[in-house]
Structure 1
Amino acid sequence: MHGAADDRRAEALADGSRLAARLFDALAGGTADPPGVTRAAYGAGECAAFALMAEAAGDLGGDPVFDPAGNQFLTFRGADRGRTVYVGSHLDSVPHGGNFDGAAGVILGLAAAAALTRLGTVPAFDLCVLCLRAEESCWFPHSYIGSKTALGCLPPDVLDAVVRSDTGRSLAGHMRDLGFDPEAVRRGASRIDRARTVAYLEPHIEQGPVLVAEGRPLGLVTGIRGSFRFREAAFHGAYAHSGATPRTLRRDAVVAASEFVMAMQALWERMERDGHDLAVTFGMIGTDPAQHSFSKVAGEARLCIDVRSQSEATLEEVRRRLVETGLDVAARRDVRLELGPLGGSTPAVMAPRLLAQMRAAAATAGIAPIEMASGAGHDAATFANAGVPTGMLFIRNRNGSHNPDEAMDMGDFDAALALVVALLEQPAEHWG
């Protein structure tokens, strides 16, 4: 039987859900860029999203503050003002992307604050809803800029070395444009005191099909894959006439690139059979539009290489074998391989104690999530690798991510909200 307490909880969660629905609608309308949304890092769309979240937090009694990099901290008072639980994610998007990637985590934090306020519950510690910048590395080619700046661990050279893809201007310049302080970022300034941080929790839509296939609304993330990336790789051969140049005399960059791609695909299949966690992707491949022609042997083929795994040892082995394979193909095809700059991220393991708390919160909320690894990278990896107890919660999402067709159902969001509220209601001794 349902009692008055159950009714109050249902009403409180409904309050949070209604706030979330309004914020999602306002966010979609305010950052629309058909066929999807665009919230460029340190751009107008991202700033509009930050302003929307700050206004919602203010209405709930939250205190919005920026750090030197422009990350936004929306703080709600807890019983212990000296320690903080962070809930959040990023608010930028890919060009013409979906409305839920990243934003769902920030909005869920605000919805949880609204539900706790309606319940009259003061959490054990301050609750800070964290709005991070520049997670999508399509804008600035460096992983996890927002979380690294929030924690004061962004390599200083990144501020000047990376430029935004659509403007050609540096990260430092974009920070200054918005009134932030890249010199403080360069010094490692941070608002986050790791010693006083209880946990960082990142709710996020799943960006793959696992929860849909399993018929489950939520997933508890056990770990996040790391990666290495060559964004500017290219095979260089020689342009030649397609009819006049015999096969044995060609230096065909496209043939070399194709052989390389298939060799890496075969390596992936072998390593997967041997039990390695691995994903190998060539997300961009092409010839030079200024030079290519239907009647020319291609003298250049460019590739973008993305390799991911939960295992650092696997990443290192694949990187070594990738280089060996590429050089072997280049030698046999009489072309030259340039891999270009190497980037990437470190695998991360979610905190076992926080994972156990999330299991307990799910049971309290009557939810049965599955446990799964994240194939995609997230800011949570930065927090975990910085020694902050970190957890991630996936929300079911149809049609994948980084596209306008992201389809998170509000019923699944409500299940995540119930779990997070139950987690934040846990007493201080449960957090350690």
Structure 2
Amino acid sequence: MIFTLGLNHHSAPLAIRERVAFGADKLQHALADLTHNQPVKEVAILSTCNRTEIYCAAETPDVVIDWLSHYHQIPRDDIAPYLYTHDQPAAIRHAFRVASGLDSMVIGEPQILGQMKDAVRAAEETGTLGTQLHKLFQRSFSVAKEVRTTTAIGANIVSMAAAGVHLAERIFERIADQRILFIGAGEMIELCAAHFCAQKPKQVTIANRTIERGRALAEQYGGTAIRLDELGEHLAQHDIVVSCTASPLPIIGLGMVERAIKARRHRPVFMVDLAVPRDIEEEVGKLDDVFLYTVDDLAQVVESGLESRQAAVIEAEDIIAQRVQDFQSWLQSRHTVPVIRALRDSAERMRRHEMEHAMKLLAKGEAPDKVLEHLSQRLTNKFLHAPTQTLNAAEGSERASLQHAAERLFHLHSGE
């Protein structure tokens, strides 16, 4: 049975989401731990700024919830109210909707598809992605492509990066007059840099743990790169700060920002924290001269583009509903695999036995044509012995049912 359980921006506030997030460097360890210590056959974990979801093949999701609580050292009662659990077919539909961007804060955004592929890659490398989940995710990617190419779900999309620019324009009359500091150099920061730098800011600085990667991004926009441990020295020089790293703990604390504000003589600072867990301490937002926004705060801005995409959403949901039925049919066909394998094994044993018998007759000097005739007759009799015997022994409705099944299985036409 395929299950999906987790929490997202619809079900849980940021304060809860950041407590159960999995950093990229911890993901494979978590996957191995879950499959090693629990009766979970297959598992993949999708962890982004807006969601933490566990896709698994297991008898029950309860053991996974207990594991999640234990792994993050959070009492089960603290996260249980925010968790959702889907089994088949809802789990399949959920995976398709997530991949297609229908469950995102920004409806139709494409970034989630790449994040899901990263989650699948991590599960493959850890060896926790079995046949069912592999097929589920491949179908999810296929459905996402179909939705994106046959509907207008991605048209006029309002991205998180664009929303950040929109909010900054509420604080500063012209972004072109501001100095911007980007913290991190991942995909989200690249998107934000593209949107903010389109406004031709006065200065661009990239702060990253790996200075080489930060420098590569900074050079695209004529900026400079610094190390994360240099943040305290440079923070006061910037009017806009956009942060998104994979740090498990905040990298900008209240004291650092207070010192920067004092050095700026209380000129306002606009800060966007797109990281989960948060990069900037929550208390920073309470300072008079700081305008701090998190991923949840940007939700109101991105909602403005939703109405124009409602027709596309309806079309996408119809596509997903049909593909869920298709996948359900595939899963049901999996139940016949053991029977088909046993049938083939039985036929193979008969074939080998009769081949050995025929080879012995040939070795004795029997005519090849007679041996082949003998072989074909014996094989036919052996193949048909069990079904013929079962049909003859059946009575009443059972006989009618078996006859109908035989006609379908062997493509027979009664009366011919």
TM > 0.5 fold call: no
Question: Where is the helix percentage greater, Structure 1 or Structure 2?
Answer: 2
Q: TM-score, normalised by structure 1?
A: 0.23
Q: TM-score, normalised by structure 2?
A: 0.23
Question: Where is the strand percentage greater, Structure 1 or Structure 2?
Answer: 1
